[in-house]
Chains A and B, each alone.
Chain A
Amino acid sequence: MNIIITSIITLAAIGLIAAVILYFIAQHFKVEEDPRIEIVEGLLPGANCGGCGKAGCRNFAESCVKADTLDGMLCPVGGNETMKKIASILGKEAVEAAPRVATIRCNGSCQNRPRTNSYEGASSCAITHNLYIGESGCAYGCLGCGDCVSVCHLGAISIDSTTKLPVVDTDKCGGCGACARTCPRGIIEVRPLGIKGRRVYVGCMNKEKGGIARKSCNVACIGCGKCAKECPFDAITISNNLAYIDSNLCKMCRKCVDVCPTGAIQALNFPPKKKSETTTTDTSTQQ
């Protein structure tokens, strides 16, 4: 009986002493942390996508609290709404930023870009890209294995079963750019969403000369430069036989869409044009 009592007392004494030591150590080495970091982190989506350029949501919250202004700070997934909330907590001014979405700059559907062979290896764009040109004759186009789909935290991308091209759900897409960084061919670009989702962009990345590009795909940009000449705002530049529309300069007049001889320029979510004008508009299904 004695033994039990002594051991209990000894253990209790050791525990007590250890607790006192730990208490004083904890007091001494206490890390002062701004409680607002916790609150800001709670407001963020928690996807840790890295779209803001920081290591994760916690890191972004820390930077927001530390920063003098919120200029240039944007959680692309949470958008302006979240940034406003953060600003009100921190007592800073939120800077409005246009929402951005991933845009697929390839329209080489099975119809537009005939397949010349079939690939049966591991289903990964990175592997296919390293191995060979892909199932079609275009060395720049979408490979369709869905690396972008698997990398998206938000489930915003899916592969269309008929066109074999990725489709971005603009409601879900936060514009973090994870897909753009993953795509081995670099065909995904994060562009401003535009009013009512209206966007004008070149749906092609083929840098070959016109004839070669056209041979592999019906809707390839052939670098003819008609769009650049037509554009009243100098928003279009041609380099390496490929046109590029600067979204900051583009006023969405869609003149370029009408003059493009191959239909490589895409205009999304615009209402149908009036009868008098030519109808070479809209989405992938038409060409």
Chain B
Amino acid sequence: MKTFRIGGVHPSDNKLTAHCPITQAPLPSQAVVLLSQHIGAPAQCIVEKGDQVKVGTLLARANGFVSANIHSPVSGTISKIDNVADASGYNKAAIYINVEGDVWEESIIRNDELIRECQLDSQAIINKIDEMGIVGIGGATFPTKVKLMPPRDMTAEVLIINAVECEPYLTNDHALMLAKPDEILVGISILMKAIHVERAYIGIEVNKPDAIELLQQKVQSYTGIEVVPLQCRYPQGGEKQLIDAILRRQVASGALPISTGAVVQNVATAHAVYEAVQKNKPLIERIVTVTGEQLSQPGNYLSRIGTPISQLIETAGGLPEHTGKIVLGGPMMGRATANIDTPTSKGTSGLLILPEEQSHRHEPSPCIRCAKCVSACPMGLEPYLLSRAVAVDNLEIAEEHHIYDCIECGCCSYSCPAHRPLLDYIRLGKGKVMNIIRNRSTEKKQ
């Protein structure tokens, strides 16, 4: 069975909500919509306090090429445009909307009827995706249209759909595949048309046999799409790892994934593209897996963007006693948050509630040079060396050993028997080195 060739770990799945159907979460009384929900420049707010908005009304316009439009997830009145503490606790600009009813823009088609035919040409599809504010909702929130417009000297040969969901606990993509297989496949066809490719592969890990079976059955009525079952291994959902697993091609250090001829999109993004292009629906809601062993009603909740996470936890049965940590995202790449009032954004894939006894780190001890982190690193780096170099502030060595290639998957920290906080240091060093490289290139230009 296929999988990527370098490194990787296999944490236990813990997919508690694997067979929970998608449930509609109740509307919040107040939605807080962050202006920066994507990688790139924050969107430019175009509404004012007191404005009436409907579901799907444009709130903020993309500010630059790498940026995305933001639409209202609810209907009501804009109560203020102010800062809100995001998951990290730092203030970010946001639009506060008092929810009144649930009135949608007339242009959005709200029935469940499947529309298979798409008459638009490639450029029109990309424009539509841009207009509807679609970003990669697998977690990285990279604006989708940018990925669909490769640099001139590179051409896309194949589309890869990331339905791997290798993060433990998360099941939102799984639930979506079971509920909306046809919509996903039409979305994939639209994406294929947008980048002019004839082939598409859907990579799914074998811990989702029902999804593999269902999609394999459905793809027969679509041309050029193939389902590829993959061995369970983290971080297979990483763009570079998935390309390697399916195509056996490696992305060179510093190169774009498109250099291998592959465009990778998340399965939920494909679904969002379907809704945007065929139904005129902007990215205003997403499935959030709310999970944890102690929750009374864990599940996959379809919730509007901008819902406070406290409300989602309430929907899932309330915060259990002895909760130690609330993680936004999965346990490997997600970040713990101290702010329970933070709103969800386009990139919020899950909420993991960990009990007190599972939420503590072990005391780190000295490195014993066992090189487990080296074997685990899917990018072929030497995490023990990089973290040490950053700790003593020797960024030359860190750069020499390609710290900027780190994808921050956390395999090193996970595999370390001495419980060293390897990724913490590498992440810090990566930021510093990237800054140095950026400054160097701007200096050169001048």
Listed in ascending order, the chain A residues whose CB lies under 8 Å from chain B are 116-117, 120-122, 124, 126-127, 130-134, 137, 139
Of the candidates B87, B91, B338, B424, the one whose C-beta lies within 8 Å of that of A117 is: B338
> Distance (Å) between the CB of B78 and the closest chain A CB?
21
Q: Is the CB of A130 within 8 A of B428?
A: yes
Q: With A120-B361, A124-B428, A126-B428 as known contacts, state yes or no: A132 contacts B90, CB within 8 Å.
A: yes
Which of chain A's residues have a CB closer than 8 A to the CB of B85? 133
Of the candidates A116, A121, A122, A139, the one whose C-beta lies within 8 Å of that of B90 is: A139
Across the interface, name the chain B residue whose C-beta is closest to A130.
Answer: B428
Across the interface, name the chain B residue whose C-beta is closest to A139.
Answer: B90
Q: Is the CB of A131 within 8 A of B360?
A: no
Q: Is the CB of A134 within 8 A of B89?
A: yes
Q: Is the CB of B338 within 8 A of A127?
A: no
The contact string, 1 if C-beta is below 8 Å from chain A, for chain B 386-421, is 000001000000000000000000000000000001
Across the interface, name the chain A residue whose C-beta is closest to B338.
Answer: A117
> Distance (Å) between the CB of B433 and the closest chain A CB?
14
Q: With A120-B360, A120-B361, A121-B361 as known contacts, state yes or no: A131 contacts B88, CB within 8 Å.
A: yes
A116, B337: Cα distance in complex, Å: 11
Which of chain A's residues have a CB closer than 8 A to the CB of B104? none
Q: Is the CB of B88 within 8 A of A133?
A: yes
> Distance (Å) between the CB of B383 and the closest chain A CB?
13
Which of B76-100 touch A at CB < 8 Å?
A: 85, 87-91
Let me know if B427 is at the binding interface, CB within 8 A.
yes
Q: With A130-B431, A132-B88, A133-B90 as known contacts, state yes or no: A122 contacts B421, CB within 8 Å.
A: yes
Which of B329-344 touch A at CB < 8 Å?
A: 335, 337-339
List 15 A-B residue pairs with CB atoms under 8 Å apart, sorted by A's residue number: A120-B361, A121-B361, A122-B421, A124-B424, A124-B428, A127-B424, A130-B427, A130-B428, A131-B88, A132-B87, A132-B338, A133-B85, A133-B88, A137-B89, A139-B90
The contact string, 1 if C-beta is below 8 Å from chain A, for chain B 419-441, is 00100110110010000000000
Q: Is the CB of B361 within 8 A of A133?
A: no
> Distance (Å) between the CB of A41 and the closest chain B CB?
25
A132, B336: Cα distance in complex, Å: 9
Q: With A116-B338, A126-B428 as known contacts, state yes or no: A133 contacts B360, CB within 8 Å.
A: no
Of the candidates A116, A130, A139, the one whose C-beta lies within 8 Å of that of B91 is: A139
Q: Is the CB of B424 within 8 A of A139?
A: no
Which of chain A's residues have a CB closer than 8 A to the CB of B335? 131-132
For the residues of A in contact with B, the DSSP-based class is loop
Which of chain B's residues have a CB closer than 8 A to the CB of A134? 89
Interface residues on B, range: 10 to 19
Which of chain A's residues have a CB closer than 8 A to the CB of B421? 121-122
A196, B314: Cα distance in complex, Å: 58
A81, B425: Cα distance in complex, Å: 41
> Distance (Å) between the CB of B364 and the closest chain A CB?
8
A132, B86: Cα distance in complex, Å: 9
Across the interface, name the chain A residue whose C-beta is closest to B363.
Answer: A120
Which of chain B's residues have a CB closer than 8 A to the CB of A122? 421, 424-425
Across the interface, name the chain B residue whose C-beta is closest to A115.
Answer: B338
Which of chain B's residues have a CB closer than 8 A to the CB of A127? 424-425, 427-428
Which of chain B's residues have a CB closer than 8 A to the CB of A120? 360-361
A-B CB proximity, top 3 nearest? A133-B89, A122-B421, A122-B424
A120, B424: Cα distance in complex, Å: 11
> Distance (Å) between the CB of A252 and the closest chain B CB?
35
> Distance (Å) between the CB of B333 and the closest chain A CB?
13
Which of chain B's residues have a CB closer than 8 A to the CB of A124? 391, 424-425, 428
> Distance (Å) between the CB of B349 and the closest chain A CB?
19
A117, B431: Cα distance in complex, Å: 25
Which of chain A's residues have a CB closer than 8 A to the CB of B431? 130
A134, B425: Cα distance in complex, Å: 17
Most central of B87, B337, B425 by chain A CB within 10 Å? B425
Of the candidates B89, B425, B427, the one whose C-beta lies within 8 Å of that of A139 is: B89
Additional pairs, 5, CB under 8 Å, beyond known A130-B431, A132-B337: A122-B421, A122-B425, A127-B424, A132-B88, A132-B338
A121, B360: Cα distance in complex, Å: 10
Which of B82-125 touch A at CB < 8 Å?
A: 85, 87-91
A131, B89: Cα distance in complex, Å: 9
Which of B365-394 touch A at CB < 8 Å?
A: 391
Which of chain B's residues have a CB closer than 8 A to the CB of A126? 428
A137, B391: Cα distance in complex, Å: 27
A131, B425: Cα distance in complex, Å: 11
Q: Is the CB of A121 within 8 A of B89?
A: no
> Distance (Å) between the CB of A139 and the closest chain B CB?
6
A130, B425: Cα distance in complex, Å: 11
Across the interface, name the chain B residue whose C-beta is closest to A209.
Answer: B83
Which of chain B's residues have a CB closer than 8 A to the CB of A131? 88, 335, 424
A234, B87: Cα distance in complex, Å: 41
Across the interface, name the chain B residue whose C-beta is closest to A138.
Answer: B89
Across the interface, name the chain A residue whose C-beta is closest to B87.
Answer: A132
Which of chain A's residues have a CB closer than 8 A to the CB of B90? 132-133, 139
Which of chain B's residues have a CB closer than 8 A to the CB of A130? 427-428, 431
Q: With A120-B361, A139-B90 as known contacts, state yes or no: A133 contacts B424, CB within 8 Å.
A: no
Which of chain A's residues have a CB closer than 8 A to the CB of B337? 132
> Distance (Å) between the CB of A242 and the closest chain B CB?
15
A120, B90: Cα distance in complex, Å: 19
Q: With A117-B338, A121-B421, A122-B421 as known contacts, state yes or no: A132 contacts B89, CB within 8 Å.
A: yes
Which of chain A's residues have a CB closer than 8 A to the CB of B391? 124
Q: Is the CB of B338 within 8 A of A133?
A: yes
Which of chain B's residues have a CB closer than 8 A to the CB of A132? 87-90, 335, 337-338
> Distance (Å) between the CB of B437 and the closest chain A CB?
18
